[in-house]
Amino acid sequence: MRIAIWHNLPSGGGKRALYNHIKALKGHGHYIVGWTTDYASPDYLPLSEIIKEHCKPITKNLQKINKTKSPIRRTIKTINLLKKHCKECVEEIEREGFDLIFANSCGLTYMPYIGLFAKIPVVTYLGEPNRLLYEASEIGNIWELPSFNFTPRGINRLRKDLLTTYSRRIKVGEEIKAAKSCSRILVNSLYSRESIKRAYGINSSVCYLGVDEKLFHIDNDIPKKPFVVGMGSIGKGKNVDMAIHVIAKIPTYQRPQLKWISNGFVPDYFNEITTLAKELKVEFIPLIDINDEKLREVLSEAAVMIYISHLEPFGLAPIEANMCGTFVVGVAEGGIRESIKNQINGFLVNGYQIDEMSKLILPFLTDINYAKQMGQQARAHALKYWNWKQMADNIENELQSIIK
């Protein structure tokens, strides 16, 4: 197949999934060229190392647009900028005779607009819709409740709310039109499929991810150590504060370090959890933007992983930990219910039960042999169900079926 890639992904699990998809497809002999923006994270798993990639700048124009005071005008200008970019990409792609466009998420709109302009098939791999437009959320619901305050200040707030709400309705409308323009939408879990159905009212196909078992493996030269590892950007959505509370419940003389692997952080939240960790006497060690070798080393050393992200669509991190011989303790919500089988490659807790999670973590810290044994069991499960070959076959079969 001649496959054109489009994405506007920041660093994180979505970019790693795309990177793995491209490596797998290229390994099967397909011709692949990419199109992206300078807004995406070029230094994190750079696709230019494995394929030719065209980068079209939009950041300067975005910076100008972000100075626009009216939320409606700002939204419309951003949408038009991205549509113009996508139209230019499609013109180049179709001139070069590609069979299809394999689009991925956009860091600004989630659902990409490229299907609106393409004559060839467009398959979009989407981790999630723009959840803040559709869900009530513990991490901050942007559809705020109205205030019945009819003072001059309240009237000004009402006017602002009306403008902001209308701009969000524009975003929702454009997102749904873009979704319906795709030949097929692929998602990473049954949970994500349901999210897409609720948001867009259309069907999607589950195309499970996998992990490179050669990159993420058990290194016998790296001994297990009694610390807990967490992974994900340091923001409210990853519930880092909750993880600190879990560790704080472990008796002081047995309390482990909490090492947190992150590709970025929200400054205010970072300061908040750093203060919290000091107050609760938890040694919190952030590991920001580490390379894959260091990532594998930390995942291999950890006695156990804690994973309590808020409604995570799938989550590659627990599977990567499993491949490195590390068991997972997590909350049974979102896509993790599909990737973690209770008592096999992890323990799943029903809700944010801090005491129960602490009790499950403690044996991994006090008995390193137990941690190793459970980690080996987790890797065996991951090798069987979440391996590289299955991921490669999944994505290749989906793309080929569209062309046929």
**Domain locations in the chain?**
2-210+389-403, 225-386
Walk along the chain (404 residues) in steps of 10 and give the mean pLDDT of each run. Answer: 95 90 94 95 88 94 93 95 97 96 95 96 94 68 55 66 86 95 96 94 95 91 95 91 96 96 91 96 96 95 96 92 97 94 96 95 97 97 94 94 88
Bridge partners for 51 per DSSP: none
Residue 153 has a pLDDT of 66
Q: Which CATH number fits domain 2-210+389-403: 2.40.30.40, 3.40.50.1820, 3.40.50.2000, 3.40.630.40?
A: 3.40.50.2000
Residue in the structure block whose two tokens are 């100008």? 64
Residue 163 has a pLDDT of 83
Q: Say how far apart CA 66 and CA 39 lie, in whole Å.
A: 14
Residue 290 has a pLDDT of 93
Per CATH, domain 225-386 is 3.40.50.2000: yes
Q: Say how far apart CA 135 and CA 333 lie, in whole Å.
A: 15
Q: Say how far apart CA 149 and CA 266 lie, in whole Å.
A: 32
Residue 228 to residues 258, 337, 362, 386, Cα–Cα distance (Å): 5, 21, 10, 23
Residue 154 has a pLDDT of 60
Q: Say how far apart CA 1 and CA 15 lie, in whole Å.
A: 22
Say which residues have a Cβ less than 8 Å from residue 161's Cβ, sequence separation at least 6. 144, 146
Q: Say how far apart CA 324 and CA 305 lie, in whole Å.
A: 11
Q: What does the block give as tokens for 269?
A: 């939240």
Residue 155 has a pLDDT of 60
Q: Say how far apart CA 28 and CA 189 lie, in whole Å.
A: 24
Residue 136 has a pLDDT of 67
Residue 144 has a pLDDT of 55
Query: Contact at 8 Å (CB) between 70 and 42?
Result: no
